[in-house]
């Protein structure tokens, strides 16, 4: 593999993983469009949608581990929320990742576009600010959380994402989880779901391992840095960054599809 191509992939992995650690997402919302669009701009062969979803699935698994480690001592991991939503995301992700083998390239991109658009809409709906001074006592609707997590898992399994970009808007808007807890817990749930997604992508031969390895190595460096930065930023700033990032990705994907 050409040296400059390795450098390009490492940079894409680093940028995406830094943002994923900072915003509590697995990184597929960022890396999926970057891997599809940026390598051809530098004269390299474009990845297929299936290859990108396979690379993303493995990458999200390792980046989520690094991100969760960055939050482990911060006190923002909601254990019961993680266990419940993680279990149902895991089931949905298994179904989606195995089923994605039967979808066309365009259909995979369309699923991704709809997920990003839905997440963007939810992020821009005004939310009531929740007191974060007693986050260990935060209640949530468990049946609703389980149902939503299952459907997030199906969609994220198809596109090779962990689902963090959808889980955070759902936690903030519907389940009423405080921002920092939503960011940290989302990474832990994403870790669980990406494990299932990775199994499905590997089993169906959708992973290009060398590019995945380069991107994963960059992520292991960048994600903990992003997590540390996140604890220093204002929660409203974090929400706004995530909202505009998701919106920009959704717009770009739909422009390419249409």
pLDDT in tens, 175-205: 988 888 888 888 888 888 778 778 888 888 8
pLDDT band at 159 (very low <50, low <70, confident <90, very high): confident
pLDDT band (50, 70, 90) for residue 139: confident
**Residue 240 CB partners (closer than 8 Å, separation 6+):** none
State pLDDT tens for residues 198-247: 888 888 888 899 999 999 999 888 888 888 888 788 877 887 888 888 78
**CA atoms of 189 and 252, how far apart (whole Å):** 27
- How wide is the angle at C-alpha 252 spanned by C-alphas 56 and 48, nearest 5°? 40
Mean pLDDT of 152-164: 79
pTM over 0.85: no
Report how far residue 183's alpha carbon sits from residue 163's, in angstroms, rounded to the nearest whole number: 12
pLDDT value at residue 160: 67
List of residues 6+ apart from 34 with CB closer than 8 A: 12, 15, 16
């Amino acid at each position: 593999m050409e040296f400059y191509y390795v450098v390009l992939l490492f940079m894409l992995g680093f940028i995406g993983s830094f943002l994923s650690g900072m915003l509590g997402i697995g990184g597929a919302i960022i890396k999926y469009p970057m891997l599809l669009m940026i390598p051809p701009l530098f004269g390299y062969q474009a990845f297929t949608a299936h290859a990108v979803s396979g690379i993303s699935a493995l990458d999200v698994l390792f980046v989520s581990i690094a991100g969760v480690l960055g939050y482990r001592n911060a006190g923002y991991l909601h254990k019961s929320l993680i266990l419940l939503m993680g279990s149902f995301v895991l089931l949905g992700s298994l179904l989606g990742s195995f089923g994605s083998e039967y979808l066309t390239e365009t259909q995979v991109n369309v699923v991704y576009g709809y997920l990003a658009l839905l997440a963007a809409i939810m992020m821009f709906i005004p939310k009531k600010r929740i007191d974060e001074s007693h986050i260990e006592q935060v209640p949530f609707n468990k049946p609703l959380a389980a149902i939503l997590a299952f459907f997030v898992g199906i969609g994220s399994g198809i596109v090779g994402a962990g689902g963090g970009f959808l889980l955070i808007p759902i936690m903030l808007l519907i389940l009423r989880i405080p921002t920092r807890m939503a960011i940290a817990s989302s990474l832990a749930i994403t870790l669980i779901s990406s494990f299932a997604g990775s199994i499905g992508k590997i089993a169906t031969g959708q992973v290009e391992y060398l590019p995945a390895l380069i991107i994963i190595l960059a992520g292991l460096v960048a994600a903990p840095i992003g997590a540390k930065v996140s604890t220093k930023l204002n929660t409203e700033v974090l929400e706004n960054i995530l909202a505009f990032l998701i919106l920009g990705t959704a717009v770009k994907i739909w422009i390419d599809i249409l």
